[in-house]
Amino acid sequence: MLRKIEYLYQFIEKINIVFLHKIFRLKKFITLNLVLFISFSWAQTFQLPSLKFAYTDYEPFIDAKTMEIHHSKHHQTYVNNLNKAIQGTKLEKFSLNNLLINTSYFSETIRNNAGGHYNHSLFWEILTPKSNSSPDEILLKAIEESFGKLDSLQTKLQQAAMIRFGSGWAWLIVNPDGKLQVTHTGNQDNPLMDVISERGIPIIGIDVWEHAYYLKHQNKRNDYIYAIWSILDWGVISEKYQAAIKDPTLEKIKQDNWPELKAFHKVMSATFHAAEKSDFKPIIERNNELKVNAYLLKNSEIPVLNPTEEATMSKSLHKLEKQTNDLNRYLTIGRKISDKLIFKKLTAIHDTFHEIAGLCKEE
């Protein structure tokens, strides 16, 4: 009898251990999920950058109140709205640069707020109330090549800022040919965006929204531009110039101006993304068009900046033509080809396109 009671106690103890263990695991599971949920909810993909100086340090060129409102309210709002717009979407993984150079594929909200965040971050970075440096030798040479002298660049920037009707930005950019150019854009657009005709990498951006100057200069935008010119940080701008001329983004922008690539992409995107959803009608109807566009692409002028990349690109273009020919042959021989094989071949074409164009944008 005693032995039976002892077994019973051992059994109850065992159950308790399992039960407690389960409770412990459940608690651990809930805690882990809670932490993940909280981190996810609070995740801020983009952050307001700190200023290098106090708001008062920019006086008398920019008044402290304007600096404070501009930075802590206007810029912060662009950051908040951008984070809100991308939260829970695949765009959370995109860099700011990628959001900008592919703007045409995203919403107006993303265009305005990603632009607002990038533009203001650049603006704060290139301003210094502390020193009156001048461009380094390399940048000065480039300025003289494009504008004759530094004063002419100032005049050009002044003109661009004054021509811009309403809100926008005046820019000094490195264009896809590696040359300096002065441009201007409306609202929070900038020259990285694929919706802008004069594209390049900005190295100076001057905010000409009234919120940037109205408290001090009221309607005198010209006075404000003079003030900004006086506090440009040429050390930072010179560094930005040297980074920009080596930046692969310039090649991407060049590619966006590559009409044959765009034409090929249009057909490939329509056929490949349909096939991903098991719809093979588009590729059956348009495989010849895909082949012709691959041929035209292979024979077009390759807009890249260095010979090594041109050789790699040329190799990929030949491969693309061969693959599209191959698929076309399969689809025109009159025999029934399995969807699986069509998709395999189309995926290989899509992969080669990635080698050429980098990011593939869904249409």
Residues of the shown chain interacting with Fe ion in the complex, contacts defined by CB under 5 A = 207, 209, 212
Would you say 215 or 360 has its CB closer to Fe ion?
215
CB atoms within 10 A of CB 299: 10
> How far apart, in whole angstroms, are the C-alpha atoms of residue 212 and residue 221?
10
Judged by CB, which is closer to Fe ion: 31, or 72?
Answer: 72
232, two tokens? 């440009």
Amino acid at 29: F
Q: Shortest Cβ distance from residue 235 to Fe ion (Å)?
A: 23
According to DSSP, the residues that pair with 76 across neighbouring strands are: none
> Measured from the CB of residue 111, what is the shortest distance to Fe ion in angstroms?
16
Q: How far is the CB of 167 from Fe ion (least distance, A)?
A: 8
What is the b/e burial string over 98-108, where b = at least 16 CB atoms within 10 angstroms of the residue's CB?
A: bbbbbbeebee
Dihedral pair phi/psi, residue 174, rounded to 5°: -100, 115
Would you say 209 or 224 has its CB closer to Fe ion?
Answer: 209
Residue nearest to Fe ion (CB): 207
Question: Minimum CB separation from Fe ion for residue 79, in Å?
Answer: 13
Distances (CA, A) of 94 to 90, 97, 244, 305, 359: 8, 8, 20, 25, 11
Q: 207 in helix, strand or coil?
A: strand
Nearer to Fe ion, 81 or 316 (CB): 81
- Report, in Å, the least distance between residue 182 CB and Fe ion: 19
Given its phi and psi angles, is residue 325 left (phi above 0), alpha (psi -120 to 50 degrees) or beta? alpha
What minimum distance in Å lies between the beta carbon of 212 and Fe ion? 5
Q: Are 363 and 272 in contact (CB under 8 A)?
A: no
Q: How far is the CB of 232 from Fe ion (least distance, A)?
A: 17
CA–CA gap between residue 74 and residue 52 (Å, rounded)? 18
Q: Between residues 57 and 210, which has the closer beta carbon with respect to Fe ion?
A: 210
CB nearer to Fe ion: pick between 115 and 176:
115
Say if CB 257 and CB 310 are below 8 A apart.
no
- Which is closer to Fe ion, CB of 94 or CB of 209? 209
